[in-house]
Structure 1
Amino acid sequence: MPEFTYDMLVIGSGPAGQRAAIQAAKLGKRVAMAERRGVVGGACINTGTIPSKTLREAVLHLSGYRLRSLYGASYTVKQHITMEDLLFRTDHVVRHEIDVTLHQLMRNDVDLFNAHAQFVDPHTLRLIDLDKRGTRAMRHLSAATIVIAAGTEATRDEHIPFDGQRICSSDDVLQMQRLPHSLAVVGAGVIGLEYASLFAALGVRVTLIDKRQRLLSFIDAEIVDTLAHHLRENRVTLRLGEEVSGMEPFNDVSGDRVRIQLASGKQVVTDAALYSIGRTGATNDRGRISVNERYQTNVPHIYAVGDVIGFPSLASTSMEQGRLAACHAFGVEATSVPALFPYGVYSIPEISMVGRTEEELTAEGVPYEVGKAHYREIARGQIIGDTIGLLKLIFHLQTHALLGVHIIGDGASELIHIGQAVLSLNAPIEYFVNTVFNYPTLAECYKTAAFDGINRLGGVRQDAVATSSRN
């Protein structure tokens, strides 16, 4: 056996890399990690998940969004909100999460190298350090196992002149120095939709452009339609089925502007533009990496986990992938990532789902029924001022087994875990009928939706209660 410097080398310190490194360290292995950014946490902590979700909370608070149904659409907590106001909270949370990650790595004796990693051979990495003075230093480290968790970067069109102010990617949108009066978001995927709804809640005139005809095709159509309706109410212009053919900055009497040319011949003129057309694996133009069910590449001792391997590209699943890869590498039995996991879209309003959609079940010929609960019908919905929220249960027509849960509204990404647990148990929707929920809470929506679904069938099964004060 050759002598290696480490048992495992991990490239990248995002959720997947961090979990792989710590799991290996817990197994008593010598572990090192290379992180090229200079700070740990990957895009998740530094430019993506954590800052954007913290920004969302700042927007909800400062804009007074949650109270507008009570005090009117013009209500705001703070007049003249600035980017500095919005980023104050974000910077604090990001620094805290970086510190937490660093302490976790240190506590588990993971050696951290702030360096760019390159393969020399299948067991050896060349680490290239670049200090603040631009001095390059190289070292070589070897390991029995290498885990690639390099993550992704925002996709950039080489013909678009990004400057981080007027024309931004999702990686640098939070570096904007001023809040624009108008914003064009190119790309209506999850990231684009989240930012479009955030800026719209601040009163920014948003134009959302996407070449697809429908938003979020993996989400239940009724939920997406509810979101689209709300975006339009917030003065978001949806330009679906439109492709961008060019983008350029220019100046007019209004100041710095951006002109976007559409393939249809139309033009969109705006103060700023956010280009959000997906993400690309941070692998020197190699893109996504193919792996087997154990996260091994075509070289068995080299694993790849997280966003760099593609779908589902969620921080939650990436963490599990990293842990499971480390377990497999060192012969520890572990189950695979569960097939049933929730999605969360942190738009305003929030969306979350788990299980099947109506469209999928219809295509497969599965008989089903639905039950719905609107937040406006729930006391808690009135208390918090959310009158657009909706919880939707999909269940099998004959067995009543729960098949899917779809939520739009405040707390959707938290509420979804109740449905996830019941789905995992393969339980019928009568479970919700026979369960007592705290009152007043949004969780009551499960009970109300279950009654609604059963009532649509014209009755109940013997083990269900026949009446409800809310139905």
Structure 2
Amino acid sequence: MQSYQCFDAIVIGSGPGGESAAMGLAKQGKSVAIIERYHCVGGGCTHWGTIPSKALRHTVSRITEFRQNPLLHNDNLYTIKPSFADILHHAAQVIKEQVRMRQDFYHRNGCKILYGEARFIDSKTIAVHHDDNSSDILEANFIIIATGSRPYRPETVDFTHARIYDSDTILQLTQQPKNIIIYGAGVIGCEYASIFRGLSVKVDLINTRSHLLAFLDQDMSDALSCHFSNDG
């Protein structure tokens, strides 16, 4: 079954960019439709990027503080060793709350959310194909594309291999590794290096540049390198 609907604006993608655009237009009294390919709003930022990694990092930071607190150093308490799967469970709860909050933003501002794959029919018309093989046709004078980004996957790397992950699929890791090699020492690489090292995983961080996070001041980059080195 196919329906036809008209809006002032259509936003493709419900990540930070799409959300900001939709909220801004809705607050100006415009009718707005949001199209999201995933089954929940939030985009990569909420489900695979910023929110999960920050939740993981926060949990690992608390674990590190616990281990370094001299008041808590006794044989019984120090046996607490959460795994990557354990902290992923916590991150999943954070993601769930973020999705609920963002859905509430859209509903309060009168934005219509459609889940499915967006395809242009012409410059003002979008077809939305749903998982159940149904579709909707949307029309608007303004269409905003906010589909975000994805991890770069070199053709020479077999990402179907069971032990190879990118920054999105690493959240599907179910077993605690004893060691991990992270290729790429940008913000995401350094963040996950810190997370896994905080879980006592041996980490080899491969940097293809002259120093870590080259956009930082040299002293800050050196301090980060020193921290990683001291942390093993």
Question: Same fold by TM (over 0.5)?
Answer: yes
The count of aligned residue pairs is: 226
| 1:103 and 2:104 are equivalent in the alignment | yes
Q: Which of the numbers 228, 246, 257 marks the counterpart of 2:225?
A: 228
Aligned counterpart, 1:141: 138
CA 1:77–1:129: 2 relative to 1, 3 Å: farther
CA distance in 1, matches of 2:96, 2:82: 23
Q: Which of the numbers 161, 164, 170 marks the counterpart of 2:158?
A: 161
Question: Does structure 2 retain, via aligned residues, the 8 Å contact 1:164–1:175?
Answer: no
Aligned counterpart, 2:92: 91
Question: Does structure 1 retain, via aligned residues, the 8 Å contact 2:84–2:199?
Answer: no
Q: Which has the higher helix share?
A: 2
CA distance in 1, matches of 2:176, 2:129: 38
Aligned counterpart, 1:24: 25
Deviation at 1:99, TM superposition (A): 0.4
Runs of 4 or more, structure 1, over 6 Å off, are none
Matches within 5 A, 1:244-323: none
Secondary structure at 1:167's aligned position in 2?
coil
CA distance in 1, matches of 2:62, 2:105: 31
CA distance in 2, matches of 1:113, 1:98: 15
1:26-75 deviation per Cα after TM superposition (whole angstroms, max 9, x unaligned) = 1111100100011100011101111110011111223x3465275899x9
- For 1:83, the aligned partner's letter is F
CA distance in 1, matches of 2:159, 2:25: 40
Deviation at 1:139, TM superposition (A): 2.4
Question: Does structure 2 retain, via aligned residues, the 8 Å contact 1:164–1:176?
Answer: no
Secondary structure at 2:24's aligned position in 1?
helix
Aligned-pair identity in percent equals 35
CA 1:78–1:141: 2 relative to 1, 3 Å: farther
Cα RMSD between the aligned structures?
2.2
Q: Which of the numbers 203, 208, 220 marks the counterpart of 1:206?
A: 203
Question: Does structure 1 retain, via aligned residues, the 8 Å contact 2:212–2:224?
Answer: no
| 1:68 and 2:68 are equivalent in the alignment | yes
Matches within 5 A, 1:69-468: 70=70, 77-130=78-131, 135-163=132-160, 165-235=162-232
- Of structures 1 and 2, the larger Rg is shown by 1
Secondary structure at 1:120's aligned position in 2?
strand
Give structure 1 stretches of 5+ with no counterpart: 236-471
* Higher normalized contact order (CA 8 Å, seq sep 6+, divided by chain length): 2
Secondary structure at 1:89's aligned position in 2?
helix
Question: Does structure 1 retain, via aligned residues, the 8 Å contact 2:47–2:95?
Answer: yes
- For 1:148, the aligned partner's letter is I
1:318-360 deviation per Cα after TM superposition (whole angstroms, max 9, x unaligned) = xxxxxxxxxxxxxxxxxxxxxxxxxxxxxxxxxxxxxxxxxxx
CA distance in 2, matches of 1:86, 1:228: 25
1:296-338 deviation per Cα after TM superposition (whole angstroms, max 9, x unaligned) = xxxxxxxxxxxxxxxxxxxxxxxxxxxxxxxxxxxxxxxxxxx
Secondary structure at 1:81's aligned position in 2?
coil
CA distance in 2, matches of 1:78, 1:88: 20
Secondary structure at 1:154's aligned position in 2?
coil
Query: Structure 2-normalised TM-score?
Result: 0.90
